[in-house]
Amino acid sequence: AACAQKAVALIIKDVSWLWRTAYNCAVQGSAEWEQNEERISELFEVARDLLSTCCEASPVDVDADLYLHLITASFSGAS
């Protein structure tokens, strides 16, 4: 059981890194990329999906900031 918990923690850490990277790329793209609104929306959608998975799979309560990022990614991904 301890090994499984350790594996879950590692997976959540990796998924957390992925959503943050997608989110940050989308934010940076919003400021720097012209005529790529669709791709930026897709990055926000990827970030939202990964963040949602991370929140649902977390064995502990998640920070309120994660829900703010989830709301922002959901709103920004809507095209």
Query: Could you give the C-alpha distances from 32 to 53, 65, 75, 79, in angstroms and in order?
Result: 28, 25, 19, 18
- Nearby residues of 45 by Cβ (< 8 Å), 6 or more positions away: 73, 77
pTM above 0.85, yes or no: no
Do residues 69 and 75 touch, judged by C-beta distance below 8 A?
no
Report how many domains make up the chain: 1
Query: Which residues have C-beta within 8 Å of that of residue 40, sequence separation ≥ 6?
Result: 26, 29, 30, 33, 76
User: For residue 11, what are the domain limits?
Assistant: 2-77
The tens-digit pLDDT sequence of the chain (79 residues) is: 777 778 888 888 899 999 999 999 999 999 998 888 899 999 999 999 999 998 888 777 878 888 898 889 988 877 6
The predicted pLDDT at position 79 comes to 60
